[in-house]
Structure 1
Amino acid sequence: MSDLQDQAIRQHCKVLRMPTMGSQFSRLAETAIREKQSHLGYLEALLAAEMEERESRAITRLLHDAKLPRMKTLEAFEFDRSGVSAAQLRGLAEGDYVARAEPVLLIGEAGTGKSHLATGLCVAACRQRRRVRFTTATGLINELAEAAHANQLSRALGRWERLDLICIDELGYVPLAETACELMFQVIADRAEKAAVIVTTNLPFSEWPQVIPNPRLCKALIDRLTDRAHIITTGADSYRFRRTTAQRKAAKP
């Protein structure tokens, strides 16, 4: 292949926005010659490389937009150290609950792996090319309160409503003012039976009135979140504490 032809192909790929084909056509051509592939075989390999790279870039972009606090996957969760069903979480990771707009509630004490599991489900959804957003309950409320102050609440609510999956972490750690509860309720009510939501909380439902003082609003929120929900209890024994203890024992001579 002449240098002029090489440059022309690269330019065509640049104009057509096919950067992977532009960077790999020469290498794959050498492979095709060596393995005696047909013209169609070479073309298929070239297109497959472009598609694979586009898929990878799309997932990377979705993971970035999800604003995950840390990159944690279900594959990295030590189910044998917890009381959570690996089969249930792996089944959820397949994404049917997102398609059916079913809530997922993770309930347990601090350190029992709720946030890790929720993050893992968010990562799985991003890998399926779904639009995801992770936030804490406080972070969500602060964002909506700022939008309301700037007369942009409707626009902010619209952004949350358009997402395929949202995760609200740490609900129940801080008591919420009634206005804050109303803002969060709007987000959850807008998604009821239309889009999926994951919520992690350290409180059983009987104790939610401690952080949501309006009894009617509290009842309505629980009603929306538990309708057709997957409710997973992570227990009371700290997963992080047990893991740290095991690591220390293993490190002893």
Structure 2
Amino acid sequence: MIGDSGTGKSHMLIALGTEAAMKGYRVRYTLATKLVNELVEAADEKQLNKTIARYGRVDLLCIDELGYMELDRQGAELLFQVLTEREEKNSVAIASNESFGGWTKTFTDPRRCAAIVDRLTFNGTIIETGTDSYRLASTRARAEEHIAS
């Protein structure tokens, strides 16, 4: 899912994961930065293979807020390993505020970025949520109601 902040990406990602879990699938939801931090810590503690395998076993891995922060080389490599472990075996759903062209800011190595986009989009569905923030629209509506009353 790709779209600006406030357009419902996280909401849809959580709903997708919840629905899958209710149907009996194993689901894991995480923020991209939290996942990368966990992988870096696992690498430091010599537990990386075990951690990657754990993420590889779930039926649906939901990664939220990809693209909000630039990943260093190690973080990008570790996330790439998780995605590669899941490739063509289990599903991944990602929410990002950046279009694929902007992912080079997150994954600073252009070849790795291209490989990640290639893996994620193969047999995938891309949902664009647009640019209109639901939160901003709600705030404006409340302000207009206040002025009218």
Same structural fold, with TM-score higher than 0.5 when normalized by the shorter chain: yes
Q: Which residue of 2 aligns with 1:228?
A: 123
Which amino acid letter does the alignment assign opposite residue 125 of structure 1?
Answer: A
Q: Which residue of 2 aligns with 1:168?
A: 63
1:140 to 29, 32, 35: 35
* 1:243 matches 2:124: no
1:122 to 17, 20, 23: 17
Q: Please, which runs of 5 or more residues in structure 2 have no aligned partner? A: none
2: distance between equivalents of 1:224 and 1:142? 22
**TM-score under structure 1 length normalisation:** 0.57
* 1:192 matches 2:87: yes
Between structure 1 and structure 2, the one with the greater Rg is 1
After superposition, residues 69-84 of structure 1 pair within 5 angstroms as: none
How many residues get paired? 148
2: distance between equivalents of 1:249 and 1:126? 39
Q: How far does residue 248 in structure 1 lie from its aligned partner after superposition?
A: 3.6
2: distance between equivalents of 1:159 and 1:169? 18
* 1:149 matches 2:44: yes
**TM-score under structure 2 length normalisation:** 0.95
1: distance between equivalents of 2:143 and 2:57? 45
Q: Which runs of 4+ in 1 moved over 6 A?
A: none
2: distance between equivalents of 1:175 and 1:117? 24
Q: How far does residue 243 in structure 1 lie from its aligned partner after superposition?
A: 2.0
2: distance between equivalents of 1:249 and 1:164? 45
SS at match of 1:231: coil
- Alignment check: 8 A CA contact 1:109 1:238 kept: yes
Q: Please, which runs of 5 or more residues in structure 1 have no aligned partner? A: 1-105
1: distance between equivalents of 2:142 and 2:118? 41
Structure with bigger helix share is: 1
How much identity, in percent, do the aligned residues show?
A: 45
User: What is the root-mean-square deviation of aligned Cα atoms in Å?
Assistant: 1.1
2: distance between equivalents of 1:218 and 1:167? 19
